[in-house]
Structure 1
Amino acid sequence: MALAAELDKQAKGPANGGLEPLSRLVADDLQAVNRLIVRHMHSPVALIPQLASHIIAAGGKRLRPMLTLASASLCGYSGERHLGLAACVEFIHTATLLHDDVVDASDLRRGLATANAVWGNKPSVLVGDFLFSRAFQLMTADGSLDVLRILSDASAVIAEGEVLQLMTANDISSDETAYMQVIEAKTAALFAAACRIGAVVADRPAAEEAALERFGSGFGIAFQLVDDVLDYSALQAELGKAVGDDFRDGKITLPVVLAVQRADEAERAFWRRCLEDQDQRDGDLEQAIDYMQRHDALADAMARAREYGASARQALESFPDSAAKEALLEVVDFCVDRAY
């Protein structure tokens, strides 16, 4: 149970200070979810729990399962179905991280060596598949076709988003529409599903399901926009991430899209060399940040994040005031404020 204790410690740790109201609200449930995660990672194939434990113990906010727990609380649910489904959501997320790190050839995640850097690509992909399978076992154990449909649809959309991101990478002609399609699929889909199933288990009306789905989607988009801005910020170091990972990978995020749209020909040549040709030299990241600041690309991307955050907050207006509602509203504010 050492891993479960470590997960509980992370959930209460100082790195999650901005999530304190949400963490406090779901603390007992999250401990139960952590125990479920550890139990369902078990396998007689020793490498599977070893590798899965590595990425799960590497940290993270447990934000997506906390959204499921808090959404169920918001809807007045008092059973235990939300626990298994929150674990399911975390398994889906963790599986996508394992696959992402392989696709991106990443060596570090949250300041620690990635699973693929330690064990190689093949074991990472296969353990990611194992975690997806565990997620579907948890879905079927819940017994709800609605839950199965919502989470399986989200899993399919996430995969589509990964492929779409591959298609747009290293292509500076990619526009904002393509970028939004990527983050709506890669990030917002799971946020939306994680929130919506909180209403499903509570057997709430369709209007409340839809409201929580809108909340999760708006929050997920805001969250990803902020992440993409932070990739060009010194604050990344404080979050345990390297500055400029997206730049080095040639990812076309909104700050890049806006900077390229507003660039002169010399600047476009720079972006083409760095992102399309992947010919990056000393000082290029600093030059990219300078161009983004010159054209207000980072500030405008943050403004867009605030718009989606406001949309997420608005989606909860129909719910009565409660500790759960307040915690969910505060976590949106924390998401946007973490860029400062």
Structure 2
Amino acid sequence: MSEPGTVAPEVKHDGSCQAIAFSPDGKRFASGGSDTLLRVRPTGIGTPRDMTVGGGVTGIAFSPDGGKLAVADFEQVSLRDSTTGTTAWQGPLAPGTSLNTVRFSLDGRVIAATDTLIAVLDQASGEIEQRITVDPPLIAGLDVSRDGTRVALAVDERHGGNHRDAGSARVHELATGTEIGRLTPHNAVFAVAFDPDGTRVLCCAADDTIRMFEAQDGRQVWPTPDEVDSQLTFPRCQAFDPKGKWTVVGGADGFARVLDADTGVEKCRAPKLAPGAPDPGLGAVTNVAFSPNGKLAASASIDNLVRLFNLNGKELYTVPTEEVLAIRFSPDGRWLGVGTMTGALVIDNGEANTG
């Protein structure tokens, strides 16, 4: 068994790797980015497969049965056989508009998004069954509830400009497109995440706050009115653990914080510094994720380090990388997939961290 932190498969791209995904059984991973090949590789023994793409892959997802790959590739969304690469269908959501993300719902439908549009597509035909438009844009981030019935949107109305009073976090029912909940912080919202049962949403806003709200009606859960709004300099990424007990949030100060999902109270942070130690000048955290067993979390920062740590803030490993654009745990927790400016790599978390 490899030591935790061992880099296993490393896949060079002719450019950046912006998206990475594991098959449901954890035996394969797919990576894509700015070059013209989508790469599917085994995590162990197996046959590699390269699939030609347009050269702007921003999202990849395996179907629930592992047999298909949905790909967001520049202006096209496509469905491919994950073994042969054969394309079942492809096309734009809106001609002239680039795709930002793609997901599968548990029932196999494809959910894809541009800056202004969420679309639900039939897996067999690629026909759009539902459209949800956002006006004014832009969609800075989204999450789909685990049961595939709801989508949460992070909206930044002045993307790249003055974010003040310019955004919201919204929840829509995917079947009807109806908005059922909205939270409007002081400034734009950068990221959202559903809890496991799809009833609460965590959002990161440009006013340096983390807020939890009810999906159904937009009621803010924390901070409460008599509490000071949680301040975390420029929070841009967050995730729930699989049971919904904890969240992990990355901030510009270089720390990944584990918070109690019910109260927002901090449990730990990584890296874990000695009491009284000086500020080490850490790089901003850009990506976070929870392991499938909820016992570990991973973070990536602009000082080019990937960390794996437990819920006491103890680091299991740090791995130096190029700038990280995406991270993803395998479904069994054995592997951490990382997309960087030069390619994809898979880090072995050790067999003891699976389950």
Q: Which has the higher contact order (CA 8 A, sep 6+)?
A: 1
Normalising by structure 2, report the TM-score. Answer: 0.30
Question: Counting strand residues as a fraction of each chain, which structure ranks higher?
Answer: 2
Question: Counting helix residues as a fraction of each chain, which structure ranks higher?
Answer: 1
